[in-house]
Amino acid sequence: MKKTSFPVFLMLILAVLGCALFMKEYRHMHNSPHQGNAAPVKGNGGGEQESGPVTPVPVFGKSFRGIVTETDPQEKQLIFQELDGEKTASFFYDGTTSFFNRFGQSVTAVELSIGEIVDVRYDDTEKPLISVSESTEAFTITDVVKFDIDEKKHMITIAGETYRFTDDIFLWSEGEKTEWMNINNLDTLTVRGIGKQVSSVVVTAGHGYIRLLNDSYFLGGWIEVGQELIKPVTEDMLMTVPEGSFHVRLTNKGYLGEKDVTIERNKESVIDLSDIPIEEVAVGHVEFNIEPGYAQLFIDGDITDYEERVPLEYGVHNIRIEAAGYQTVTTNIKVGSEYAQVDIELDPDDGTAQKSGSSETPFNQVTQAPTPLPTQVPTSVPLPSLLPTPLPTQTPAGVVDIGGSSSSTEIISSVKKIYVEQPAGAEVYLDGSYIGIAPVSTPKVTGSHVITLSKSGFVTRSYTVNIENDGNDITLSFSALSAEQ
């Protein structure tokens, strides 16, 4: 009896030890902050986001380079996305975790920015993060307002420099992940990457809209929002404008209307032109020096003799210069002083220029007139109050070249159409010009364009679309608009 009880007793002891070891391992896996699914966490933009399945950390190793995608200071939790990949991991941190900027200086967890590229160190026990450091190899470009995106070629151009990106690029706007089509070229971005590859783009300032009411008097004229955003006034237009405060100026047929507005993200600011006092516009005198000297000058569509100074109202004017054997120049100028001059030299037409294209006058060919002539500006309009503030470039305030019509935008055919089907019942605008109520169509055009959708009681939204000359109709459907809060 004693001989048989000993093996049984030994087996019981081994079984108990095995269970104890199993439970210890189970508790370790269950309590570890690096395993399983992440709970919803709050991003910097507020509101709760479902981050979805979070990949167990061991896929990264004990250190990795990633992008900060979500932060929750209250729960002391961070979520990272692997650099140039889709896998994410959630970590908790405490007072033992170290945080450093790119210069090796100690910072706090709340100073981490969404979209920041960081080097992360951790161990595989139940301890929290060891350290999070801003990558010294990463670049950060802030306040990006001049950019061009080619989603098909996976390229973004910033200030003449071209960078590449992958399908896994991290895009963030208004407290949540977004898509390229939701980013407008009037937005302000923070761009981060390594080398010539961009890994994250964060929209730091978005855009809103200006709606004109009772605009019949200014149809065919120009609207200027600030110093750089200038467009022709069209019927029932809804103009996309960056966030911020601006001085709005409308001119047409010798008259002027002005108003200060504040633009909020995704909201419409209404300007009722019947409430704006209309004043007489001052007149500037522009000297055109054109080579060859026999070239024809058209101003606002009318052929103009430019042997003497040309009187032009303050504001924006379209000019076209033509000469046999030379490329045609089409551009816009803005008159903003009593006397100024425009120097333009046409390029010979060697047959390589596109028929639909037009060359543009460089900024350095527009100069202030050196010697003012006796003033002929109407005394009924105080000249100093109408002089615009110079742009933050070397362009003088007298006459400002604001760019010609781009050859990348062209009506291909009145037969081929762009169809906007959804959301049904929404007003549809193409680059600010009213098209109609969805479902609606418009002649097909090439290039990058902004489709804006508006409906009473709902948040106005806009989308950037790229239209190619592929010989087919284009059908677009967008998500339903969100109700205003």
Query: Taking Cα atoms as reference points, which of 51, 41, 126, 120 lies closest to residue 77?
Result: 41
- Tell how far CA 49 is from the center of its chain: 23
| Per-residue pLDDT tens over the stretch 211-247 | 998 888 888 888 999 988 888 898 889 999 999 999 9
**Fold matches, 207-279 and 411-477:** yes
**Residue 315, helix vs strand vs coil:** strand
Q: Which residues of the chain have pLDDT under 70?
A: 1-61, 125-127, 351-414
pLDDT at 374: 37
For CA atoms 115, 121, 124, 129, the dihedral sign is negative
Query: Taking Cα atoms as reference points, which of 114, 265, 84 lies closest to residue 182?
Result: 265
pTM here is 0.69
pLDDT at 12: 63
pLDDT at 472: 86
Residues 41-134: name the CATH superfamily.
Answer: Copper binding periplasmic protein CusF (2.40.50.320)
Do residues 327 and 346 touch, judged by C-beta distance below 8 A? yes
Query: Taking Cα atoms as reference points, which of 199, 135, 196 lies closest to residue 166?
Result: 199
Strand partners, 198: 193
pLDDT at 360: 39
Q: Is 434 exposed, middle or buried (0-12, 13-18, 19+ CB in 10 A)?
A: middle
Do residues 246 and 260 touch, judged by C-beta distance below 8 A? yes
Query: Taking Cα atoms as reference points, which of 136, 115, 119 lies closest to residue 44?
Result: 115
Strand partners, 212: 271
Beta strands, E only, 95-196? 98-100, 117-121, 131-134, 138-144, 147-150, 155-158, 161-164, 170-173, 176-177, 188-194
Q: Is 151 exposed, middle or buried (0-12, 13-18, 19+ CB in 10 A)?
A: middle
Which CATH entry fits the domain spanning 207-279: 2.60.40.1120, 1.10.1520.10, 1.10.1740.10, 3.40.50.12780? 2.60.40.1120
Run of H or E residues at 206: none
For CA atoms 269, 274, 280, 285, the dihedral sign is positive
* C-alpha distances out from residue 169 to 115, 161, 191, Å: 10, 18, 11
pLDDT at 314: 84
The Cα–Cα gap between 406 and 339 comes to 28
Sketch the domain layout of the chain as residue ranges: 41-134, 207-279, 281-401, 411-477
pLDDT at 350: 77
The Cα–Cα gap between 61 and 39 comes to 22
The Cα–Cα gap between 354 and 387 comes to 38
Do residues 462 and 186 touch, judged by C-beta distance below 8 A? no
Phi, psi of 54 (to 5 degrees): -110, 125
Query: Taking Cα atoms as reference points, which of 441, 450, 433, 462 lies closest to residue 234?
Result: 433
Residues 411-477: name the CATH superfamily.
Answer: Carboxypeptidase-like, regulatory domain (2.60.40.1120)
pLDDT at 334: 84
Instruction: Dump the DSSP string for 409-436.
Output: --EEEEEEEEEEEESTT-EEEETTEEEE
pLDDT at 21: 55
